[in-house]
Structure 1
Amino acid sequence: MSLIPAVQKDEVLQRDFQSAVPAEGILLWWLGQSGFLIKSEYGTVLFDPYLSDSLTDKYRDTDKPHVRMTERAIKPSQLTGIDLVTSTHNHTDHLDAATLGPLIAANPSIKLVIPEANRAFVAKRLACDFAWPIGLSDGQSETVGAITIHAVPAAHNNVDRDQQGRCHYLGYIVQLGPNTIYHSGDTLMYDGMSEILRPFAVDLAILPINGMRPERRVSGNLFGDQAAQLAHQIGARMVVPCHYDMFSFNTESPDIFIDTCKMLGQPYRILGCGERFAFS
């Protein structure tokens, strides 16, 4: 199977990111799966990057092969000037040592935001100092330079908590000056979700659309129509879909997402891997 080509990749993408100047608003690049690179005059944020073939290698000779569908956008060591990187939960496509190791080495002052409930797991997987990551649970916030990040629950498939009541799965709301971005992480809908999110006045929502099918034997996400409906319910000015076209066993077409957004009058944008989008 031939891979879906990246719109930009490697040195071309690196130059585009380094040279682009966000005069107003933000610049956003989709890096595949749930990975998004955000650049603004207030700082740079990298959401949940997966920039390796670690899952394809791990499951190659199993009954659940992770066959890659889209080209890798860029080597993590090529991404410099990153202020903050996130992991919404412990699944490898959101906490990948093969991605985060080279990324951290290339950005010595980078900050990593994680669910506090996952601290021990993260420290072991990344072989990092136990105290180094910034840990959050839902309702908590942290400011890094001019970037403020708020944690909200995610349901993958449930809103799971540790014995101290801290969420294992999070979404993050990042404020970059006047711009507010919601990255849901992996999630289904849960009771009170819209009520939690609406007060943040989200400008740009980033939501998964690969859905949940029991035959895949993995935790599920929103389907495309549900993602469009959630964006509409919280009043997002724009929604961008993700978590599709990475692994052949766990993907969905964005068509139902597009159709539902059109029906609801919800502004949306479909991106190719490595494509830049200016939002203000």
Structure 2
Amino acid sequence: MAQLQLTHLGGPTTLIEVDGWRILTDPTFDSPGRRYTFGWGTSSRKVAGPAQARELVSPVDVVLLSHDQHADNLDDSGRELLAQAGTVVTTRPAARRLAAPNVRGLADWESTTLESPDRPSLTVTATPARHGPKFSEPITGKVNGFALHGHGEETAALWMSGDTVLYDGLREVASRLKVDVALLHLGGVRFSFTGAVRFTMTARESLELIGVLRPRVAVPVHYEGWTHFREPEAVARQTLSVVENVRWLTPGERTEV
């Protein structure tokens, strides 16, 4: 597979360009300032806008949507983009809720192949993710990560973790997949009434994951722009400075990895 170009647009939203495909992860393009509710008494305020407007990012061939139930992964403007995308790949529950003809829902370890007459085919495989502590899924909802494979290629050109803590499901990913570029959702999400319980990885947890996953490049995303992120970027950068294969992207800047 050809080299990837990544453009981090803010939060989890990243444009992936590879072999003629334009692939967008978790589209969020709303302006900052609004507070969004996530259910069960949780909420967060968006404090930073996208590095590029939605109109500048379109057209998009594929959206990899880790989940639809939280606005920091799919906001109002992002929902409008879904209808314009060629294909949306997401969780099975999200596919049922979105109920659109261009949406494909996958369970853990299911795959779908994307075809186009003018570019190589791509296989997308859903991988496990858990958006919080053990037994939290009935509250936080189903989340998936996704791996991208070129036709006949054993190594995943890219794997995105989705919003998840470090747990056995991610260690299973490391044991089953060879990964070139890992897109890791960090931020150490906490809410005031949940105390020390976290709902996404910290940099220290991602360091452990990088050690077992062993990607060529690890790219942190989804660690800024919202008030529910509790691990500052400076702390994450310091923690991850001990490994050489971590690549921090400048928002809005197209970067070859």
Q: TM-score range by the shorter chain?
A: 0.7 to 0.9
Partner Cα distance (1:93, 1:159) in 2: 22
Alignment correspondent of 2:220: 241
Alignment correspondent of 2:72: 93
Partner Cα distance (2:44, 2:26) in 1: 21
Structure 2 vs 1, CA of residues 216 and 149 (structure 1 numbering), >3 Å: closer, same or farther? Answer: farther
Identity over aligned pairs, percent: 24
**Of 76, 79, 96, the match for 2:54:** 76
Alignment correspondent of 1:120: 96
Contact 1:172/1:184 (<8 A) preserved: yes
| 1:212 Cα offset (Å) | 3.6
Structure 2 vs 1, CA of residues 94 and 67 (structure 1 numbering), >3 Å: closer, same or farther? Answer: closer
Give SS of 2:179's match. coil
Partner Cα distance (2:210, 2:7) in 1: 20
Q: Deviations over 1:177-204 (max 9, x none)?
A: 6652111110001125223333321111
**Of 5, 14, 17, the match for 1:39:** 17
Alignment correspondent of 2:166: 189
Alignment correspondent of 2:149: 175
Q: Deviations over 1:69-118 (max 9, x none)?
A: x342222233234211021112122222422314533x4xx101110123
Structure 2 vs 1, CA of residues 192 and 137 (structure 1 numbering), >3 Å: closer, same or farther? Answer: closer
1:148-227 equivalence runs, <5 A: 148-157=123-132, 158=134, 168-176=142-150, 180-215=157-192, 220-227=199-206
Q: Deviations over 1:217-267 (max 9, x none)?
A: 59610011111221221111111111122113424223343334333x341
* Letter matched to residue 228 of structure 1: L
Contact 2:128/2:169 (<8 A) preserved: no
| 1:272 Cα offset (Å) | 2.3
Structure 2 vs 1, CA of residues 275 and 214 (structure 1 numbering), >3 Å: closer, same or farther? Answer: same
Contact 1:48/1:94 (<8 A) preserved: yes
Partner Cα distance (1:190, 1:159) in 2: 12
* Letter matched to residue 109 of structure 2: G
Partner Cα distance (2:83, 2:22) in 1: 14
- Structure 1 regions of 5+ residues with no counterpart? 1-22, 124-128
Give SS of 1:245's match. coil
Partner Cα distance (1:51, 1:206) in 2: 19
Q: TM-score, normalised by structure 2?
A: 0.81
**Of 114, 132, 138, the match for 1:144:** 114
Contact 2:189/2:228 (<8 A) preserved: no
Alignment correspondent of 1:11: none
Give SS of 2:10's match. coil
Partner Cα distance (1:266, 1:136) in 2: 34
Alignment correspondent of 2:34: 56
Partner Cα distance (1:63, 1:119) in 2: 24
Structure 2 vs 1, CA of residues 41 and 132 (structure 1 numbering), >3 Å: closer, same or farther? Answer: closer
Q: TM-score, normalised by structure 1?
A: 0.75
Give SS of 1:210's match. coil
| Alignment size in residue pairs | 240
Alignment correspondent of 1:229: 208
Alignment correspondent of 2:118: none
